Structures are given as C-alpha cells and as structure tokens.
C-alpha cells in the first residue's frame, strides 16, 4: 500500500506541458488530447471536444527550473482538471472557441428550460379555473348538497317491535308487530324543498367565487403588466441617464464644467439603476401573486403579454340597473331568502303530528291461538307545539328580506363608486398621455441637449428628469387604477368585460328564477 501511494505521489509530481493550438484538432488515434500516463486524473477526451491541442509529457529531467515554467505547469494541470470535470459533469460545459474565449454551453435540457415563454390573461384564467382550491371547495359544496337532496327524499323506516307477557309457558303471550310513521302535512315535500334551496345557495356561492377569482386573476395579471411597464420605463430612463452622464463627463474632461456636475450625473444614473432593480423585483412578486392562484411557481410563469395601455370603458347607468339584480351578491342574498323560507315551511309543517300505524300478531298460549294486533298512535302536543322554532324561522325570513334590500343598496353604491373611479382614472390617463408625459419628455430632452451644449447646468437636467419620472409613474398608476376599477365592477356585477368572450371560463349553472 505504501509503495502504491508513493507511486501516485511520484506520478502527481510529474509535470505535463500542454500546447494548445487554435487550429483544428489533429485527433491522433481518435483522441484530441494525449495525456501522460503518470497523471492521476485519467482524462478521457473524444472528438466532440470543441477545442484542439495535444499534451506532451515532460519528465523531471526534462523539466525547466525556471519559475515561469513551473507556474505554467501548475496552471496547465488545473486546466486539465477543469476539463475533466466539464466532460463528466451533467451541468453546463465550458467550451473554448478558436478565439480562446471561454463561454458556457448549455445542455439540451437546460436550453429547453430557459426558453422564453409568455402568459396571456386567457391562459392565466384557464389555469386558475382549473386548479384554484377555493373554486374547487365551492364545487364540492354543490356536490355535498346532492347528498342532502337524496337524504331528504327518504321516508321514515318501519319499526319492528317484540313484547312478551308472563314468563310461564302455559300462560305466556308473545306479540310481534311492525310500526310505521306516516308523515302528513307536507313534511317530506317541505324537506325536499329545503334541500333544493341549499343546493341553489351552493351554486350561487360558486357563481360568487368565480367572480371573485376572475377579479383576482385580472388584478394580478395587470399588476404583472404594470411591473413590466415600470421596468421598461426604468430601462429607457437609465439609457437617458447614461447619456447625461456621458455628456457630463465629456464636459468635465473638456474643462467646461466642474467635476461636481459629473458626480451629480453619476448619482442620478445610480438612482435610476435602483429603479430598474426595484421594478425587476416587483415583476417577481407579481408573478408569484398570479401563480399562487393555482398553486404554481413564479419561475415557471414567464412574462405577461397584454395591452396595458388600453383603457376600459365604464358601463352606463342603464346597464348597471339591468345587471345589478343578477349580480353574485344579489343572487346569494336571494338564495338565502329562499332557503329561510323553505326552513320556515318545514317548521310550519310540523304543526300536524305524524301518526304511527301498527300491525302485528299475538300468540296467546293460554288460549292456544294467534290474534291479529292493529293499532295507531298520535303524539299529543301538550308541552311542545314547536311554536318557538316557527317563530324563529319567521323572523329569519324577515331578516333575509331586509338583508336582500340592504345588499342591493350597498351593491349599487359600490358599483357607482367604482364607476366614478374608472371615469376619473380615464380622464387622468387622457390628460397624462396627451400633455404631461410628452411635455416632460420634451423638457428633459431639451435640458440634456442644453447641458451638452453648456447652456444649462445639471440641476436643471435633474429637475426635468424628476418631472419625467413623476409623469410616467402617474400614468402607469392611473392606468392600473382604471383596470382595477373595471375589474371591481365586473366582480360586483358578475361580468367579464376585460376577458374575451371566447376564453371566459364557464360559470356555475344557476337555477332559473334569477
């Protein structure tokens, strides 16, 4: 074992001098590299290596004692080790081109994973409707109500009764009978109606959940578009800031400006770079917010593709009046009223007591014969007339009626507030697009040109830059406010104006009578 280790140390101490040629590989014996046999790292190189060369072994007697040669030997040994790792590793390989530059080469799977991909609002909507846990929970609520309907249709089970009189065999009598409760007063029909209204309420809950999910998807998608617009504006502004910095540095070198001007320009350029980094961070946050609606990952989402600059139109007063009765919240309140009325009907049907019919046979040993037994029993409502439950059900009906009226008034107010917000945002967007931003851009360009010519100082450039930043920021914020207000109106009214009709996910089946 010791001799083997000494042999390995001796082999590792031998130097290999590598001469890399920038021409095509000679591929002697189908190998692009020829390593000395004493090297501990046994390199296996094939023709697929993108760079060429040959390795010549230099024995200790042939090695040069010059420090530069020893340094080259160590460097070449490290390069050989890195080449071996690159061949055997599954991750990106380092390729050396004929020019000698080192560039990463991705494997096929890695290139496929980083290919640019985008997501549209329609794609996000389909993904959310297919995998959102909240929507699936609401759908399970409807499935559960099917069981309630099935159970409400069931009739009372018969009862088998056994009784015995006396224990002596000669005088003992045994009675075996079947008792059946008979529901009267429409109890079964009222119970079925209550279960059906519960299902209708669950379906209305799906409708409301879908409207809320559409609002969340639209808002998160436009937040992603907003972050991308901020990044694009920040990049453009950064290019302008770099131009101003170059102009300031030229003036300083020419002696026409003090170095303080260049320092100010450099600080301004750094601040814009911070804006770029912040916008890129907001993109990741917006991607995660959107992907969380279906349990996805921000890294697999990609960039959003959509028209952020288009401004939605507000609905008219007549459209609001027509759609407000079909809104999800109104439908929920109406279904809640119907359910409370069904519960009141069930409690009212309990005013009539259900009789129980009995039919059986009695064996009397003392008489030595069988006897037919027929009977009926009716509860006497002396202590419990169910008056309290009836009163409670009636008051809940009154409560549901008032909640329905209150819901309509509240919904109407919320829609009008959102509509007014949309109108105000649209007006501000029009003003910013037509006057503020173009004027700020022109002023900034003039300030930069004047600073380059020596007519303005850099403080005026910074002031024009701040005005341009503020105008662009307000424009993006007001556009986002318009989209958010329109999405809020769609959520309140249950519409989907921001989504193309062909791609709107199907809503829950709502029973007739809306």
Q: What is the pLDDT of residues 250-276, one digit of tens each?
A: 777 777 767 787 787 788 788 888 888
* pLDDT for 117: 75
Residue 474's nearest CA partner among 427, 442, 419 is 427
The more confident residue out of 408 and 43 is 408
Residue 204's nearest CA partner among 509, 513, 485 is 509
CA distances from 33 to 17, 98, 233, 271 (A): 12, 16, 51, 51
CA distances from 497 to 85, 208, 370, 436 (A): 57, 16, 79, 29
Task: Please enumerate in sequence order all residues whose Cβ is within 8 A of that of 132, keeping only pairs 6 or more positions apart, or say none.
Answer: 213, 293, 294
User: Given 3-state DSSP classes, what are the helix, strand and coil percentages for the chain, each rounded to the nearest 5?
Assistant: 60, 10, 30
Cβ count near 105 (within 10 Å): 12
Buried b vs exposed e over 187-224: b needs ≥16 C-beta within 10 Å?
Answer: bbebbbbbbbbbbbbbbbbbbbbbbebbbbbbbbbbbb
Would you place residue 31 in the very low, low, confident or very high pLDDT band (cuts 50, 70, 90)? very low
User: Is pLDDT at 190 greater than 90 in this prediction?
Assistant: yes
Whose tokens are 């494997």? That residue is: 107
* pLDDT for 289: 92
Most distant CA pair in the chain: distance in Å?
138
Alpha carbon of residue 446 to chain centroid: 44
N-term to C-term CA, the chain: 91
Q: Is the alpha carbon torsion for 441, 447, 450, 451 positive or negative?
A: negative
Strand partners, 360: 177, 373
Pseudo-torsion of CA 304, 305, 306, 307, nearest 10°? 110
C-alpha span between 240 and 442 (Å, rounded):
13
C-alpha span between 439 and 482 (Å, rounded):
23
Q: pLDDT by residue (tens digit) across 373-394? A: 999 999 998 889 899 999 999 9
Q: What is the secondary structure of 163-203 as a DSSP string?
A: EEE-SSTTT-EEEEEEEEE---SSHHHHHHHHHHHHHHHHH
Average pLDDT over residues 137-150: 94
C-alpha span between 477 and 218 (Å, rounded):
16
Say if residue 355 is exposed, middle or buried (CB neighbours under 10 Å; 0-12, 13-18, 19+).
middle
Cβ contact 256:454 at 8 Å: yes
Q: pLDDT by residue (tens digit) across 483-512? A: 999 999 999 999 887 665 544 444 444 433
Task: Please enumerate in sequence order all residues whose Cβ is within 8 A of that of 118, keeping only pairs 6 or more positions apart, or say none.
Answer: 302, 303, 304, 305
C-alpha span between 433 and 437 (Å, rounded):
6
Alpha carbon of residue 252 to chain centroid: 51
Strand partners, 118: 303
CA distances from 469 to 240, 266, 268, 463, 482 (A): 12, 17, 12, 10, 20
SS3 385: coil
Would you place residue 99 in the very low, low, confident or very high pLDDT band (cuts 50, 70, 90)? very low
Q: Is the alpha carbon torsion for 129, 134, 137, 142 positive or negative?
A: negative
User: Is pLDDT at 446 greater than 90 in this prediction?
Assistant: no
CA distances from 396 to 93, 149, 211, 403 (A): 73, 22, 27, 10
Cβ contact 163:359 at 8 Å: no
Does the model's pTM come out above 0.85? no
C-alpha span between 60 and 69 (Å, rounded):
12
User: Is pLDDT at 43 greater than 60 in this prediction?
Assistant: no
Alpha carbon of residue 128 to chain centroid: 7
C-alpha span between 132 and 194 (Å, rounded):
29
| Token pair recorded at residue 90 | 């599954």
The average confidence (pLDDT) of the chain is 77
Residue 327's nearest CA partner among 207, 475, 185 is 207
Cβ count near 50 (within 10 Å): 14
* pLDDT for 93: 33
User: Is pLDDT at 222 greater than 50 in this prediction?
Assistant: yes
The more confident residue out of 315 and 266 is 315
Say if residue 265 is exposed, middle or buried (CB neighbours under 10 Å; 0-12, 13-18, 19+).
buried
Q: pLDDT by residue (tens digit) across 45-75? A: 333 333 333 334 444 444 445 554 555 455 5
* CA atoms within 13 A of residue 465's CA, in its CB half-sphere: 26
**Top mean-pLDDT range of 58-72, 357-371, 447-461:** 357-371
**Where do the domains of the chain lie, and which CATH numbers do they carry?**
118-378+386-493 (1.20.1600.10)
């Amino acid at each position: 074992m010791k001799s083997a280790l000494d042999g390995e140390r001796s082999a590792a101490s031998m130097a290999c001098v590598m001469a890399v040629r920038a021409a095509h590989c000679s591929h002697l014996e189908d190998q692009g590299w020829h390593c000395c046999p004493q090297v501990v790292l046994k390199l296996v190189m094939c023709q697929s290596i993108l760079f060429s060369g040959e390795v010549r072994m230099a024995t200790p007697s042939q090695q040069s004692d010059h420090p530069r040669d020893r340094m080259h030997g160590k460097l070449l040994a490290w390069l050989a080790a890195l080449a071996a790792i690159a061949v055997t590793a599954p991750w990106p390989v380092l390729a050396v081109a004929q020019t000698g530059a080192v560039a990463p080469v991705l494997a096929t799977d890695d290139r496929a994973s980083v290919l640019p991909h985008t997501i549209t609002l329609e794609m996000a909507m389909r993904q959310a409707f297919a995998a959102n846990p909240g929507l699936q929970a609401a759908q399970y609520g409807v499935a559960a109500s099917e069981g309630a309907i099935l159970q409400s249709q069931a009739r009372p089970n018969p009862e088998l009764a056994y009784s015995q009189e006396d224990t002596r065999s000669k005088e003992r009598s045994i009675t075996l009978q079947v008792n059946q409760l008979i529901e009267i007063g429409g109890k079964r029909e009222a119970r079925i109606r209550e279960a059906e209204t519960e299902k209708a309420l669950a379906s209305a809950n799906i409708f409301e959940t879908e409207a809320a999910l559409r609002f969340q998807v639209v808002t998160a998608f436009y937040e992603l578009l907003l972050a991308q617009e901020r990044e694009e504006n920040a990049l453009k502004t950064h290019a302008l800031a770099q131009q101003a910095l170059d102009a300031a540095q030229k003036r300083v070198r020419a002696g026409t400006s003090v170095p303080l001007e260049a320092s100010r320009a450099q600080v301004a350029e750094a601040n814009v770079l911070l804006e770029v980094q912040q916008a890129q961070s907001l993109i990741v946050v917006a991607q995660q917010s959107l992907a969380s609606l279906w349990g996805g990952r921000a890294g697999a989402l990609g960039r959003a593709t959509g028209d952020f600059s288009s401004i939605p139109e507000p609905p008219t007063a007549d459209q609001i009046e027509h759609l407000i009765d079909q809104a999800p919240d109104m439908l929920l309140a109406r279904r809640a009223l119907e359910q409370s009325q069904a519960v009141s009907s069930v409690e009212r049907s309990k005013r009539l007591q259900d009789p129980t019919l009995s039919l059986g046979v009695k064996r009397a040993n003392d008489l030595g014969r069988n006897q037919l037994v027929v009977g009926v029993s009716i509860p006497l409502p002396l202590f419990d007339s169910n008056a309290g439950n009836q009163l409670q059900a009636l008051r809940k009906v009154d409560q549901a009626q008032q909640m329905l009226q209150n819901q309509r008034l509240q919904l109407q107010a919320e829609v009008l507030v959102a509509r007014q917000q949309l109108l105000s945002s649209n007006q501000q967007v029009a003003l910013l697009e037509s006057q503020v931003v173009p004027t700020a851009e022109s002023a900034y360009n003039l300030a930069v040109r004047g600073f380059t010519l020596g007519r303005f100082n850099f403080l005026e450039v910074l002031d024009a830059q701040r005005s341009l930043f503020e105008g662009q920021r307000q424009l993006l914020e007001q556009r986002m406010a318009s989209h958010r207000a329109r999405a809020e109106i769609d959520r309140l009214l249950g519409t989907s104006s921001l989504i193309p009709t062909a791609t709107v996910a199907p809503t829950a089946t709502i029973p007739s009578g809306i």
